[in-house]
Structure 1
Amino acid sequence: MLKEKIRKIKANNLLFNILSNFIFKGLGIGISFISIPIMLKYLDKNNYGLWMLILSITNWIYTFDIGIGNGLKNRLAESLSKKNEREAKEYIATSYFFVTIISVVFFLFLYIILHSINLSKLLNIDYLNNNELNKILIINIGFVCINFIFSLCNNIFLGSQKAYLSSINSVLSQVLFFVFLLGLFYLKENSMVLLSLSYGLGIFLSHIILTSYYFYKNNSLLFEIKNISFTKTKNIFGIGLKIFLVQISGLIIFSTDNFIITKYTGIENVAVYNIVNKLFGIPLLIMSLITAPIWPAVTKAFYEGNKEWLENVLKKLQKIFYLLLVLTIIIIILGKSFVKIWTLNEINPSFSLIITCGLATLLTCFSNIYSTIIFGIGVSWNLVFIALFQAIINIVVSLIAIIYFDLGIIGVVLGTCFSMLTNIFILPKSLKIMIGKI
């Protein structure tokens, strides 16, 4: 009976990917939650806040592929649905070529910039001199640029309808980093440099292992230099560039918060903000686990003209949102007590911060329902301009709330909420028009 159920789940590729995501990312959540108190003890509140800020800075690089990753994901899904492996190899090879060039240029550019400014003064960090901070950042940026290239494997997994490999990749990198972290903690080597090396190496090894496994199992897609096709550039960049601009806007909305908090309220408040956000990462993660494999499946359904399937998926995602609404309310109620226990009384957030973060979480989940399907079909320039406008509004409202109303961290989160409110009205209407045209 159990074997039969497992066989049916495997036969349903989308369901298999979603369930696999839950299992592996569930493990990832467990590792992450265990890691937080260890990290706080290893670094202290100030250095933990700095570490979160560094990750905010370096994670920006992952989005600067000018849409190549998302373009590859959509085009690969299209090519494989047409059973055109030659075209699929050309898309993969061309994407790796351009991402490698971007990565090298980006590292050289940031290396020069870091040696031209006083980052300690700019970020208002007084307990580290500029040379120490630069050294830590260069190590992190170096690893990010390397992993930037190899992380393209995740787009290949998703485009191939093998989202579970992306989940395994994420968990494996967390496991490797956790092992390295325990080693540093045991040896009492409290060093941001060693922590940076451990973090980057964990991700790098995971990418190498999963990429090798994928091409071993799918050797017909193993590409060569001769597969690089500049004629495919327009196809990759076309839809990818629009998605890239929308995602950059989202990154500005969420990642600039750490900069604003550091500059106007102090580095110690970054730790409080990020710990509370980690708590609300649970409903966001559940939503991403479900939507990640849906994106390429939407692309496939769109090219097949399967309007009924798209409408059915939308209805199911809307039902899931109501479940996440209940989960978010529970987190809001229990959040303050849980954070104190979880961080061993290191962090004690205000209830108002928890409420506003909960609201931002719900707005994000709601947006993800519609944006996932829209990204799978194709993004209009109107949505791109709206997203860019939201990013500007987020910064403006956050600064006004902090400088003129003295709302501190809460003001930054309110800026995020305010900028995303328009999604409630715009995204459902846009998606309805798109599906109606099929």
Structure 2
Amino acid sequence: MNSSQISYNRNIQINTLLLLLFRGGAILCSFLLIPISLNYLDKSDYGVWLTLTSIISWLSFMDVGLGNGLRNKLAEAIEYKDKMLANQYVSTAYFVFIALMLIVFILFSTINSFLNWNIILKSNLQRYDLLVLTFIIVFSFCCRLVLDLSGIIVISLQKPFIKAVIDFLFNLFTLISVYLLTYTQSKSLLTFGIAVSIIPVIILLAFNFYLFRSKSSYSFLKPSFNSFNKTHLKSLFSLGMKFFIIQIAAIVVFSTDNVVIIQFFSSSSVTDFNIVYKYFSIISVVFGIILMPYWSSFTSAYTGGRLQWIKQSFKKLMLLWIGQLVVTIILVLIAPFIYSIWLGREIKIPVRLNILMGFFVIILNWNNLFVYFLNGISKIKIQLYSSIIIAILNFPLSYLLIKYTSFGVSSIVISNCLCLLICSIWAPIQCYKIVKGTSKGLWNE
């Protein structure tokens, strides 16, 4: 093993350990947040909150994939040790994001007063409170999309653990804030929403100032209008647009689940679904933690022609996938016991929903094992086509399962699993061809 491979492996090991530490803390906080939130809000209002934030999260597609485009291009510039080019990529991305988010917020502010959120969310909350709440959520969301570019930067620099620290602080201070709210005399979804929405913006603002301060090792990346270079827009957007379409497909498949459930079932069903999703997300989050350092490392290794290291990495990741398969089965078996300790015995989750969600996580992690590599080397055209097909199939499939079967909320999970199986077939084939050097045509795009 040469020195570059040793350096790559050591960097990934350090990042993985730190990611597990801080992401573990973030996961713990997010799990504690659910019972505390249910203690402050009732089950129905919490379901409304989950659905509303799912809808608002659709705005994330307005980044037109620019964030992932920056992630790969910046990693390439760092690999070539071109600081000027790196700064131009960062500056261009920041100012384009600011312009996009201003447009999004102005458009939303114009149409928001005409939307009847009580009908959309099937709630009977005060109309004024819902209008204020949606304004605050959208404003904070737009700010986060801009400021979160700092997280993409540290990931491109192969220091994703720093992003994990920021996420941990989000969850920790949110948990503390909601816990303090439980000591107030009356519940308020508006107050809850303000606390949860504003905290991440404050933390990200502080981190951006810290990252780009004059004494920082990364001060050369500080965004500057003079470094804005429109010639880089094509390279960022050509790659970013493909990621953009993939992101839209992901939103259609995953972020619409809560909306479908609240329309066909109830807001309480949204809460049940999200409890199960949160429980099994332990596996997908931990596996994602392990994969995260590999994205930019794959970019750098593939750019530098270090294919042997890539092959060795796949072997390690495959063994880890087998390990998470075993752990997921165990989580399915002990789920009722964990729910009773975590949330109390009044929460009743169908066994079928647990089994199907476990199956969903297993498929998702299998896909991500290969997709992270393909994303890192920008070979995403097949993924683009596959995502479009999945986005088209997902809702009709969910509707048919809800209407013509007795699976209930589990129909949503079944639909998601069937759609993900499409990627499970072609992704490992493409990766094998690329690593072996036999990829041609669409397999190499």
TM-score, shorter chain, exceeding 0.5: yes
Residue correspondence of structure 1 range 27-66 to structure 2 within 5 A: 27-66=25-64
Give 1:183's aligned residue: 180
Distance in 2, matches of 1:29 and 1:362, equals 19
Q: CA deviation at 1:189?
A: 4.6
Give 2:89's aligned residue: 91
Q: CA deviation at 1:252?
A: 1.4
Retained in 2: the 8 A contact 1:177–1:199? yes
Which of 195, 201, 208 is the equivalent residue of 1:211? 208
Q: CA deviation at 1:11?
A: 8.8
Deviation sequence 1:262-312 (CA, Å, 0-9, x none): 000011100000000000011001111011111011100111011111111
Retained in 1: the 8 A contact 2:94–2:223? no
Question: Are residue 157 (structure 1) and residue 154 (structure 2) matched?
Answer: yes
Residue correspondence of structure 1 range 15-414 to structure 2 within 5 A: 15-123=13-121, 125-216=122-213, 217=216, 218-414=218-414
Q: CA deviation at 1:437?
A: 3.4
Retained in 1: the 8 A contact 2:56–2:137? yes
Distance in 1, matches of 2:369 and 2:170, equals 27
Distance in 1, matches of 2:185 and 2:37, equals 12
Distance in 2, matches of 1:64 and 1:287, equals 27
User: Judging changes above 3 Å, is the alpha-carbon distance between structure 1 residues 33 and 380 closer, same or farther for their aligned structure 2 residues?
Assistant: closer
In structure 2, give the amino acid aligned to 1:298.
Answer: F
Retained in 2: the 8 A contact 1:246–1:387? yes
User: Judging changes above 3 Å, is the alpha-carbon distance between structure 1 residues 267 and 436 closer, same or farther for their aligned structure 2 residues?
Assistant: same
Q: CA deviation at 1:258?
A: 0.5
Distance in 2, matches of 1:56 and 1:126, equals 16
Retained in 2: the 8 A contact 1:10–1:16? no
Q: How many residues align?
A: 430
In structure 1, give the amino acid aligned to 2:69.
Answer: G
Distance in 2, matches of 1:231 and 1:252, equals 32
In structure 1, give the amino acid aligned to 2:264.
Answer: Y
**Which stretch shifts more, 88-97 or 192-201?**
192-201
Distance in 2, matches of 1:52 and 1:226, equals 41
In structure 1, give the amino acid aligned to 2:205.
Answer: I
Q: CA deviation at 1:386?
A: 1.1
Distance in 2, matches of 1:149 and 1:25, equals 22
Distance in 2, matches of 1:195 and 1:322, equals 40
Q: CA deviation at 1:244?
A: 2.3
User: Judging changes above 3 Å, is the alpha-carbon distance between structure 1 residues 209 and 10 closer, same or farther for their aligned structure 2 residues?
Assistant: farther
Distance in 2, matches of 1:198 and 1:408, equals 34
Give 2:434's aligned residue: 434
Distance in 1, matches of 2:281 and 2:127, equals 32
Distance in 1, matches of 2:9 and 2:205, equals 28
**Which stretch shifts more, 404-413 or 181-190?**
181-190
Distance in 2, matches of 1:81 and 1:290, equals 22
In structure 2, give the amino acid aligned to 1:175.
Answer: L
Retained in 1: the 8 A contact 2:386–2:423? no
In structure 1, give the amino acid aligned to 2:390.
Answer: Q
Retained in 1: the 8 A contact 2:48–2:123? no
3-state DSSP of counterpart to 1:161: coil
TM-score (norm 1): 0.94
Q: CA deviation at 1:388?
A: 1.2
Distance in 1, matches of 2:60 and 2:313, equals 29
Deviation sequence 1:152-172 (CA, Å, 0-9, x none): 111111011111110001001
Retained in 1: the 8 A contact 2:299–2:376? yes
Distance in 2, matches of 1:387 and 1:282, equals 25
User: Judging changes above 3 Å, is the alpha-carbon distance between structure 1 residues 79 and 119 closer, same or farther for their aligned structure 2 residues?
Assistant: same
Q: CA deviation at 1:336?
A: 2.0
Q: CA deviation at 1:129?
A: 4.5
3-state DSSP of counterpart to 1:393: helix
Deviation sequence 1:198-235 (CA, Å, 0-9, x none): 11221112212222222232222223110111011111
User: Judging changes above 3 Å, is the alpha-carbon distance between structure 1 residues 435 and 10 closer, same or farther for their aligned structure 2 residues?
Assistant: closer
Q: CA deviation at 1:188?
A: 3.5
Q: CA deviation at 1:364?
A: 0.6
Q: CA deviation at 1:327?
A: 0.9
Deviation sequence 1:371-423 (CA, Å, 0-9, x none): 00000011343321111111221111111111222422011111101111112
Distance in 1, matches of 2:403 and 2:49, equals 25
Q: CA deviation at 1:10?
A: 11
Give ranges in structure 2 of 5+ residues lacking alignment: 1-5, 439-445
Deviation sequence 1:329-357 (CA, Å, 0-9, x none): 01100112211321123421100010111
Percent of pairs with identical residues: 27
Distance in 2, matches of 1:425 and 1:162, equals 31
Give ranges in structure 1 of 5+ residues lacking alignment: 1-7
Q: CA deviation at 1:58?
A: 2.1
Q: CA deviation at 1:31?
A: 1.2
In structure 2, give the amino acid aligned to 1:57.
Answer: I
TM-score (norm 2): 0.93
3-state DSSP of counterpart to 2:320: helix
